Amino acid sequence: MNFAPLPSVDVASVPADALVLDVREDDEWAAGHVEGALHVPMSQFVARFGEVTEAVADGRRAYVMCRVGGRSAQVTQYLVGQGIDAVNVDGGMLAWDGAGRPMVTDDGSPAYVL
């Protein structure tokens, strides 16, 4: 069986106003995340799939992110299979942080990648 190559981008190519879909777990999200990202942990993804389809209803591209890119690659593959414009963000939050892109926390504490 042949799989199409997974669409992916590096962190520098993620627009500031992009729809970032963060599939990390709650503790990872709490430590630090992209401001305005949609948080749907991979463990809850199927149950909360409607939130994702709603977010991309206007044809927006979803930039899928986890810690390093493994979980987000699986979710991206699933979304693309559902006909959704989704790309995996190479290197995930570690690359995002390493590139100096901004991160926030919900409680205002210093953000870091867990």
Has 73 been annotated as catalytic?
Answer: no
Element housing 38 (H / E): strand 38-39
Q: Closest Cα partner for 101 from 25, 35, 8?
A: 35
Q: Out of 18, 21, 40, 66, pick the active-site residue.
A: 66
Q: How many helices (H) and strands (E) does the chain have?
A: 4, 5
Query: Cα(37)–Cα(54) distance, rounded to whole angstroms?
Result: 14
Annotated catalytic residues are 66
